[in-house]
């Protein structure tokens, strides 16, 4: 390979990362394994081309083939999610959310989103994030048992009259009731934005209700349960107007407002190699096998959560309906930071996470967040989840005993050898 000759240091680091992914259990719920076809598209010559604008309306010449690629991605996204407009250019989920706020709000307008420390996302109004600095942010939380608090949402909406309400989460283990959120938005005449970044793949498989036809605009990443490359999309209904026609901020103009928010609003040329990889992933997600994949993610999450509960772990909301769970470790006498380190030492990758009404620092919180998308991509099923649950329990029980953590790590490696990934890739050959 050219890389190993031209830059052996980077090749070595990539090979070590490949080994880490192969030999360990990737359980951060926002991570997954893309197919080799997606990897090929992501490393393609699409990266060489500048293509500011949109298909048929570019600021550069020579875009006829990147137009084909982007149209494939847009058409596949529209068909997969049942919308009439899709923007596939956002570089990340944060960029998709930035663009949506830029499109629908003016600086100082009021937005409402779920507090990060209760399961939301920093772009949903966290005070230190742009969304909490450039807009007036109102944050709703959860009920004491960890469920999304729609009564509080309604009370806050009536008090503060937000122009935009964001519903979506990064650490919420239950089904989101989009219709209840719509009732709140309609009560105060707000736009409703659904951030489905974590659950997009489960919406495709039918394991989570879709916000299409309920929310005014939908944002999603492409690299979580959707199993695509790192990137994002913005979905809505309607058709954009001509590029130079001025439009008011209104529901019927959302497609135009979104497209203009991406460019010239917050981005320049799209990443064509990324767009190509998104197109490939969307084609894969339209296959019947993807529905079975989504079903298995949820089956695995439920099996894992049941085993953890059986071992005395305290799960936020008591379980899960989707791909992830949040574990409050207070009753285990260990912090989330300590658990993340111990599990990592044992070859199990999770992330420390706050729990609702967190009494500790967010930098050393009470919980961990873990999920099943990547393990399911490897072919693991309920039987393996029961074993994984036992391994997690043993690692946390022995969090400060290196010898016992080494024993768990050995069993993890033995397990992962039965479910290999990327067998033909070696960056140092």
- Which residues are the active-site residues? 50, 52, 195, 221, 224, 230
Could you tell me which of 141, 51, 57 has the C-alpha nearest to residue 89? 51
User: What is the distance between the alpha carbons of residues 301 and 309, in angstroms, rounded to a whole number?
Assistant: 12
Measured distance CA(345)–CA(322) in Å, rounded: 27
Q: Where is 113: in which H helix or E strand?
A: strand 110-114
Element containing residue 78 per DSSP (H, E): helix 64-81
Rounded-to-integer distance, Cα 16 and Cα 2, Å: 18
Are 395 and 354 in contact by the 8 Å Cβ rule? The answer is: no
Residue 47: CB atoms within 10 A of its CB come to 12
DSSP, collapsed to helix, strand or coil, labels residue 349 as strand
Q: Report phi then psi at 195, rounded to 5.
A: -100, 105
Q: How far apart are CA 82 and CA 80, in angstroms?
A: 6
- Interatomic CA distance for residues 378 and 422, integer angstroms: 10
């Amino acid at each position: 390979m050219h890389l190993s000759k031209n830059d052996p240091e980077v090749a070595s680091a990539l090979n070590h990362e490949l080994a880490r992914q192969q030999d360990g259990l990737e359980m951060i719920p926002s991570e997954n394994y893309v197919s080799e076809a997606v990897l090929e598209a992501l490393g393609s010559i699409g990266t060489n081309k500048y293509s500011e604008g949109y298909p048929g309306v570019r600021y550069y010449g020579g875009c006829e083939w990147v137009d084909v690629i982007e149209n494939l991605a847009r058409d596949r996204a529209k068909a997969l999610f049942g919308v009439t407009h899709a923007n596939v250019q956002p570089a990340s989920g944060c960029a998709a959310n930035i663009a949506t706020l830029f499109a629908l709000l003016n600086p100082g307008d009021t937005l409402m989103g779920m507090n990060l420390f209760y399961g939301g996302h920093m772009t949903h109004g966290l005070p230190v994030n742009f969304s909490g600095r450039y807009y007036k942010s109102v944050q709703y939380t959860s009920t004491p048992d960890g469920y999304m608090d729609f009564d509080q949402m309604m009370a806050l909406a009536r008090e503060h009259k937000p122009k935009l309400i964001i519903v979506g989460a990064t650490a919420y283990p239950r089904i989101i009731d989009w219709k209840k959120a719509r009732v709140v938005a309609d009560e105060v005449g707000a736009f409703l934005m659904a951030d489905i970044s974590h659950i997009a793949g489960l919406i495709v498989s039918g394991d989570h209700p879709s916000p299409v036809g309920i929310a005014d605009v939908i944002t999603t990443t492409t690299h979580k349960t959707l199993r695509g490359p790192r990137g994002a999309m913005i979905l809505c209904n309607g058709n954009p107007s001509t590029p130079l026609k001025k439009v008011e901020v209104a529901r019927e103009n959302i497609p135009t407002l979104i497209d203009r928010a991406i460019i010239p609003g917050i981005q320049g040329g799209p990443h064509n190699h990324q767009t190509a990889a998104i197109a490939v992933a969307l084609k894969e997600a339209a296959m019947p096998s993807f529905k079975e994949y989504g079903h298995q993610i949820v089956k695995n999450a439920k099996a894992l959560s049941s085993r953890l509960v059986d071992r005395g772990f305290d799960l936020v909301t008591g379980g899960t309906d989707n791909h992830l769970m949040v574990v409050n470790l207070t009753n285990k006498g260990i912090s989330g930071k300590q658990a993340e380190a111990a599990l990592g030492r044992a070859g199990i990758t999770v992330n420390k996470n706050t729990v609702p009404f967190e009494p500790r620092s967010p930098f050393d919180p009470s919980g961990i967040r873990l999920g099943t998308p990547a393990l399911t991509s490897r072919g693991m099923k309920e039987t393996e989840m029961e074993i994984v649950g036992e391994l997690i329990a043993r690692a946390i029980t022995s969090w400060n005993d290196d010898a016992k953590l080494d024993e768990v790590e050995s069993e993890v490696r033995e397990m992962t050898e039965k479910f290999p990934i990327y067998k033909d890739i070696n960056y140092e050959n």
